[in-house]
Structure 1
Amino acid sequence: MRFMNSRRTMSRAAIATATAAALIGITACSAPDEDSDSAAASVTAEQGALPVTITHNFGETKVEAEPARIATLGPGDADILMALGITPTTIVPFNDPTGKNVVEPWNEKYIAENTPVSLGQATQDLGADIPKALATNPDFIVAVNNAVSQEQYNNLTKAAPTIVRESQYQDWLIPWAASTAEIGKAVGMPEKTQELIDQTNAKFDEAKAQYPNMVGKKSAVIISGADGSISIFGPGDGRGQMLVELGQIFPAELEPLVTSGFYGTISNENLNLLNNLDQVVAIDWEGSNEQLKNNAVFNNLDIVKRGGVVYLDQRIGSAMSVPTVLTIPWAIDQVAPKLGA
């Protein structure tokens, strides 16, 4: 599977497991990275919100008091904390898997001065980046938006209390509001977190009111592959979630194409199925949209000829792939005018 700017498009088999001895040794002996000294949490828990017990996929985690240093291991986990005024010690970038570029338009005002340590490979190889996270000496670990194994969780909890996704959701298929609520509750700020959720939902409502032409349209997100195949993403994917919350519909007749939880592949022979849509949203990944525009079979589709394809650049696609209370408002401003044109 290709990374394709999504927190959920990595191979789960590639997620390595760090040993308990290695994790404990790094935690006990390594000093925090120099750049992470300033990246410490600033939590002001709401009255009566702590202590709190968080129930998740691997049991329960009790948070006794305000954490001072929070490491995040999932794409989007850091966004939620930053929106709450908390600077984490680590961040998982999702537009640049190399980890070199963690500052994006939606988060730059939060980390322009205190940049957390980048865990650039955590979406593809979480086990390899765990020691790097523990080197920041966290006293609390948030790994909600990643695929965490039981063994990895057990090792993490030896270093600090850790929370992962709630059990009713699958890895990489966690609704943005659910992960936001869980993390906000864990740091003792449930009321402020609900305000953020309400504000974000209001942004969706405002966009639908401003661009009523996009509401009710049948649509789907696609990305062209290097081998000429085309991937289609269902409503469980972050990009699919965005379209649904903007009032669009992923048609039931295309659901059988989504064979891998949140995405599937359409062969050139079956591309005519896209003609039943009102809009196709093509997201770029390292030049994939240019490749799509040069696909003769795709260009011969009725939906292409009638102007039903909306092309989005890689940065917009990345923001959509990890919907959070920070990425959603920014992405809506870029996407809604195009969908409602």
Structure 2
Amino acid sequence: MKWILGITILCLSINVLAFPITIEHKYGILTVEKKATRVVVVGQVDQDDVLSFGVKPIAIRDWYGNQPYGVWPWAQDKLGEAQPVLLQARILDYEVIASLKPDLIIGVTSAMNEKEYQKLSAIAPVLAPPAEYEDWTIPWDVRHLLIGTALGFSGIAKQQVTALKQKLTQAKLDNPEFKDKTAAVAFYYNKQPGAYASKDLRSQFLMDLGFIIPQEIDQIAGNAFYASFSEERLDILNNDIVVWLATKEAIERASTSAFRQRMPFYKNKKEYFTGDLVGGAFSFFSYLSIQYLLDEMLPELAKVTKEAS
């Protein structure tokens, strides 16, 4: 069976790769001549994967959350005392990146375009997103294997992916009450509600646990990974559980009418509010943050599901 990542490698042992390593991606082929020691991360969440291999980036692109050096609590122990340069979230500052003299730039979750890729490639070899996936929908395991391979840790990456998938399978077995329950990962953006389609990684986490994402959400989303609708259509969220990607207070502030209070999911207490920290882990959806979700989010999902049954 052809490996979907398109990686050509020669393994010396389960954890050690021979260099050079070549990896196919959206804009061509990355060739890594030797193990990288000066890694710049321009993907919004790729730092988690890099840190999980014991590699400390010299620069990390910020995303959101105002976390130190762009690293959230579930990964901060991996960063240790390192103090990487924090790159801007919205733009790629090529001058700053070039001044750091990186030997590898990682941007799997950057949604970079070809022009950006070419500019970065003039600085150092670049691991761009894989061609097989739309922006923001690259599965966590694909991302982890790609980054692990580029850093010379293919064997370790495979072991870590296998172990975490086993944890996810066990979580599903331990919570049979999730099976075939409908669920929606919902949000408010600019005072307008919405929900993530089944292709979104957050929805896929719930599906891995046994929940079902209603087809109506996918139909409204179309080719996008989320669906937006008016408050008059909050009935779309009438599922066995609604996972709000925010604090309860934020959702109550964002709701501009009494529609939510009229909904069965509100009256029957079928809502779970992630809050900021769990919401961050949910949105990062990385090898490290998923483990945090299993510790922090899973028990709350079980509690709400059981109480609402």
TM-score (normalizing by structure 1): 0.79
Letter in 2 for 1:85: G
User: Which of these residues, 124, 137, 149, is aligned with residue 160 of structure 1?
Assistant: 124
Q: Which has the higher contact order (CA 8 A, sep 6+)?
A: 1
| Aligned mate of 1:56, from 19, 22, 25 | 25
- Of 189, 199, 202 in structure 2, the residue corresponding to residue 239 of structure 1 is 202
Q: 2:80 aligns with which of 102, 108, 112?
A: 112
- The count of corresponding residues between Structure 1 and Structure 2 is 291
> Is 1:126 matched up with 2:91?
yes
Report how far residue 211 of structure 1 moved: 2.6
Q: CA deviation at 1:260?
A: 6.0
Task: Note closer, same or farther for the CA distance 1:279–1:177 as it changes in structure 2 (3 Å cut).
Answer: same
Deviates more, 1:98-107 or 1:303-312: 98-107
Shift, 1:286, TM fit: 10
Q: Deviations over 1:114-162 (max 9, x none)?
A: 13221241xxx233x3433333221111111011111111111111111
What is aligned with 1:273? 236
Aligned with 2:34 (options 52, 56, 65)? 65
Say yes or no: does 1:79 pair with 2:48: yes
**Mapped partners of 2:18, 2:176: distance in 1:** 40
Does 2:142 match 1:174?
no
Distance in 2 (alpha carbons) for counterparts of 1:248 and 1:120 = 36
Q: Which residue of 160, 169, 191 corresponds with 2:155?
A: 191
Q: One-letter code of the match for 2:82?
A: N
Matches of 1:158 and 1:279, distance apart in 2: 48
> Contact 2:247/2:273 (CA < 8 Å) preserved in 1?
no
Unaligned runs of 5+ in 1: 1-43
Q: Following TM superposition, by how much is the alpha carbon of 1:46 offset from its aligned partner in structure 2, in angstroms?
A: 4.1
Q: 1:161 to 1:266 in 2, by over 3 A?
A: same
166-175 or 281-290: which moved more?
281-290
- Other-structure match for 1:31: none
| Distance (whole Å) between structure 2 residues aligned to residue 237 and residue 321 of structure 1 | 10
Distance 1:254 1:120, change over 3 A: same
Q: Which residue of 1 aligns with 2:250?
A: 288
- How far off is 1:101 after superposition? 5.6
- Normalised by the size of structure 2, how large is the TM-score? 0.87
State whether structure 2 residue 61 is matched by structure 1 residue 92.
yes
Gaps of 5+ in 2: 1-12, 304-309
Q: Match for residue 299 of structure 2?
A: 337
Cα gap change, 1:120/1:263 in structure 2, threshold over 3 Å: closer, same or farther?
Answer: same
Tell me the distance in 1 between the aligned counterparts of 2:162 and 2:287: 10
Matched residues in 2 for 1:332 and 1:200: separation?
10
Q: CA RMSD in A?
A: 2.2
* SS of corresponding position for 1:203: helix
- Call closer, same or farther: CA 1:268–1:76 in 2, change over 3 Å: same
Runs of 4+ in 1 over 3 A off after TM superposition: 44-49, 98-101, 292-295
8 Å CA contact 2:41, 2:107 repeated in 1 = yes
Deviations 1:304-340 (A, max 9, x none): 1111111110111111112111100001211111111
Structure 1 letter corresponding to 2:46: D
Question: Which digits, 9 at most, give the CA deviation of each residue in 1:244-300, with x for residues without a partner?
Answer: 22221112232112146111212122111222x111101117953232577410110
2:267 corresponds to which residue?
Answer: 305
Q: Equivalent residue for 1:203?
A: 167
CA contact 1:45–1:187 (8 Å) conserved in 2: no
In structure 1, C-alpha distance between the alignment counterparts of 2:256 and 2:31, rounded to whole Å: 54
- Counterpart-to-counterpart distance in 2, 1:198 and 1:83: 15
Q: Secondary structure at the match of 1:220?
A: strand
Summarize deviations over 1:102-125 as a string: whole Å, max 9, x none: 34221111113113221241xxx2
